[in-house]
């Protein structure tokens, strides 16, 4: 068994330096993913250089040089300032200023400035992202900065102080009282303070990084770029359903020019108009990540979406009022059904073929459907594409001037766009109206959070064919089981760990980021029902509610004050022991070691040197005068004792 020998004593200055560099590294880590690579590398160079100067060579650059560098950095920031990236540019500037600050010879004020810059960096992260990682960084930094500030008060008294390990641990543990009390108080304030959907500083928040997503113009091979992205696009809170129904509808495409599919004129309909779809209704709460378009995704077939100013169309697609630049939450109701009943359609629109379509395709379709009815013809075409002659692939897709012809007769491989496009065009050649539906397929069901996680790589395109008497029927010609899109059985440890972390992030998203006035009112209503608080809506009830809130806040304030006095008492106790420790260490260096059985005065009187005896006795008399009266050591008294110590 390996034993680690910890130092028996700790130098206050070295402790402050170590925690300062740790805090700075954590501050950098918190925002490293939001800034440019050049700024990250620049900070790391400054950080390593400062460590080298600090510990290898006791050398510091002159302050006028560092001040000149700082002014240059600020001037460059002003020159390149853009309102759209205001927060990021300010964070980048603060990070470089932090690196420059670390190069200085540091005094009490410099350490406090370094801590302040790190807090500003974390504030910037809060404006850019409020994912659960923000709360982790906040908790770690608040704890470390509390300890650093307490140690810094001792450092201001005497940078050369050396204290025993057990005393240092007591100081650190007692300094933890502040975050331990502050965090519950912060949570309480978060819960009870009034919420608004119009944040005061929302103009500073940068739009979240948008993902590439479905548009109303899909070029063959374009979806493969989405399918290579494993990040989440949807989280859908709902009960588990049969995987065969896991089609997340987004956009309908009906016009094909031989290379790209486009969405023709969409016909909006009232959200209250009944939809002719029969089946089991499924309610969903959907969290959609930002992406570069307006389409809202929901379980196929969606009949209702509760989002302000959302539009519904006859093809059962929904759009938001503007581009989805931030994560949004909405409710949706879908019906599990393979068909959408529609009595009359514009057949010319859904039968239109691209100009110059190869006669080889027409001949192939003629052979496949010869002597067959409509539904038999559909099965024949799907069976041909699924016969084993064609394989699914995302690599080296046949992006040519005639992609459908080359897919069918030359390359014989492609992704879902090629299979669905070939199927749709072949059905049109057979006289069967078709359209393409773009969205996602499958998803990983999280049993703990009771939600489906749908990643970008599950992007999918399928076909809807119109059959008279039935309506629009879903046709998915792409080979492969639904398990390829939804089963985590073969996933390894890293995948399961990713799902666990996503669960934490999901609860953070639901409970914290989406905490609003409606949830506050629900909490009040629940308290009213459980605690039998009379008439919360009445004036008397409101007064009681306010009284309870004030009592809770005052309780938190009292606890914070108690923590302050505990730390102050700890500091006073430390001052007493550190002064005495310094005295005894000095005496030991001169060859006089106090025995455990000796009193202080007895020990001093045993010293043979008269001058040393006089100064040592003076120190002991002054120390005992304060110590035995159980009085706190004032600044003047500490100063006087230190002056006597210098003479010892």
Give the span between the Cα atoms of 206 and 141, in whole angstroms. Answer: 23
Give the span between the Cα atoms of 362 and 360, in whole angstroms. Answer: 5
Give the span between the Cα atoms of 259 and 401, in whole angstroms. Answer: 7
548: alpha, beta or left? (left if phi > 0; alpha if psi -120 to 50): alpha
pLDDT band at 541 (very low <50, low <70, confident <90, very high): very low
**DSSP conformation letters of 152-201:** HHHHHH-TT-EEEHHHHHHHHHHHTHHHHHHHHHHHHHHHHSPP-SS-TT
pLDDT at 239 over 60: yes
The torsion defined by the Cα of 114, 120, 126 and 131, in degrees rounded to 10, comes to -10
pLDDT at 536 over 50: no
CA torsion through residues 93, 96, 98, 100, sign: negative
Terminal alpha carbon distance of the chain? 45
Question: What pLDDT is stored for residue 209 in this prediction?
Answer: 47
pLDDT at 323 over 80: yes
> Taking the model in full, what pTM does it have?
0.62
Q: Is 296 helix (H, G, I), strand (E, B) or coil?
A: strand
361 or 582: whose pLDDT is higher?
361
Question: What pLDDT is stored for residue 636 in this prediction?
Answer: 73
Q: Which letter does DSSP use for residue 55 in this model?
A: I
Q: What pLDDT digit, counting tens, does each position of 445-477 carry?
A: 988 888 999 998 898 999 999 998 889 999 999
Residue bearing tokens 């599950």: 458
Give the residue among 463, 20, 555 at the shortest CA–CA distance from 247: 463
Q: Residue 266 belongs to what H/E stretch? A: none
279 or 433: whose pLDDT is higher?
433
Q: Which two tokens stand for residue 568?
A: 């102050």
């Amino acid at each position: 068994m390996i034993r680690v020998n910890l130092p028996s004593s700790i130098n206050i200055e070295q402790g402050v330096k170590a925690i300062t560099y740790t805090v700075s590294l954590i501050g950098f880590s918190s925002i490293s993913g939001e800034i440019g690579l050049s700024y990250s590398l620049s900070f790391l160079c400054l950080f390593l250089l400062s460590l080298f100067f600090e510990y290898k060579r006791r050398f510091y650059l002159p302050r006028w040089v560092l001040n000149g560098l700082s002014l240059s950095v600020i001037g460059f920031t002003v020159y390149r300032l853009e309102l759209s990236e205001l927060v990021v540019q300010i964070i980048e500037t603060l990070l470089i200023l932090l690196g420059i600050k670390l190069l200085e010879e540091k005094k009490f004020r410099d350490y406090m400035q370094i801590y302040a810059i790190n807090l500003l960096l974390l504030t910037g992260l809060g404006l850019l992202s409020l994912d659960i990682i923000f709360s982790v960084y906040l908790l770690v930094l608040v704890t470390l900065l509390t300890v650093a500030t307490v140690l810094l008060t001792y450092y201001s008294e005497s940078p050369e102080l050396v204290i025993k390990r057990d005393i240092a641990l007591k100081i650190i543990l007692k300094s933890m009282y502040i975050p331990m009390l502050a965090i519950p108080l912060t949570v309480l304030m978060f819960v009870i303070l009034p919420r608004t959907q119009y944040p005061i500083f929302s103009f500073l928040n940068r739009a979240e990084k948008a993902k590439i997503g479905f548009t109303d113009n899909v070029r063959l091979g374009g979806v493969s770029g989405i399918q290579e992205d494993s990040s989440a696009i949807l989280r859908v809170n709902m009960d588990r359903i049969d995987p065969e129904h896991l089609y997340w509808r987004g956009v309908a495409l009906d016009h094909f020019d031989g290379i790209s599919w486009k969405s023709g004129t969409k016909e909006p309909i009232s959200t209250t108009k009944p939809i002719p779809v029969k089946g089991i209704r499924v309610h969903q709460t959907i969290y959609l990540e930002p992406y570069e378009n307006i389409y809202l995704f929901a379980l196929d077939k969606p009949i209702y979406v509760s989002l302000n100013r959302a539009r519904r169309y006859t093809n059962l697609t929904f759009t938001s009022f503007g581009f989805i630049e931030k994560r949004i939450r909405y409710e949706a109701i879908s019906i599990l059904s393979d068909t959408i009943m529609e009595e009359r359609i514009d057949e010319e629109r859904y039968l239109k073929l691209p100009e110059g379509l190869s006669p080889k395709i027409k001949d192939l379709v003629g052979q496949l459907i010869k002597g067959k009815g409509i539904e038999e013809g559909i099965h024949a075409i799907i069976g041909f594409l699924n016969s084993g002659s064609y394989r699914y692939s995302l690599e080296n897709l046949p992006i040519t001037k005639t992609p459908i012809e080359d897919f069918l007769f030359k390359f014989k491989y492609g992704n879902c766009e090629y299979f669905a496009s070939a199927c749709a065009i072949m059905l049109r050649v057979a006289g069967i109206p078709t359209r393409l539906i773009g969205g996602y397929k499958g998803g990983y069901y999280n049993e703990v959070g009771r939600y489906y996680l749908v990643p970008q790589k599950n992007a999918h395109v399928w076909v809807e064919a119109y059959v008279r008497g039935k309506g629009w029927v879903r046709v998915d010609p792409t080979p492969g089981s639904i398990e390829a899109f939804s089963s985590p059985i073969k996933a390894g440890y890293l995948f399961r760990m990713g799902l666990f972390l996503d669960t934490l992030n999901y609860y953070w998203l639901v409970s914290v980021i989406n905490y609003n006035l409606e949830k506050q009112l629900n909490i009040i209503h629940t308290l009213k029902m459980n605690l039998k608080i009379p008439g919360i809506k009445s004036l008397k009830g409101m007064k009681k509610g306010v009284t309870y809130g004030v009592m809770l806040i005052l309780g938190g304030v009292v606890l914070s004050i108690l923590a302050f006095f505990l730390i102050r008492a700890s500091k006073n106790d430390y001052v007493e022991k550190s002064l005495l420790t310094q005295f005894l260490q000095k005496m030991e260096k001169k060859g006089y070691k106090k025995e455990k059985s000796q009193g202080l005065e007895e020990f001093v009187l045993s010293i043979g040197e008269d001058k040393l005896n006089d100064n040592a006795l003076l120190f002991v008399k002054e120390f005992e005068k304060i110590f035995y009266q159980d009085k706190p050591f004032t600044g003047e008294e500490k100063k006087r004792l230190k002056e006597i110590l210098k003479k010892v």
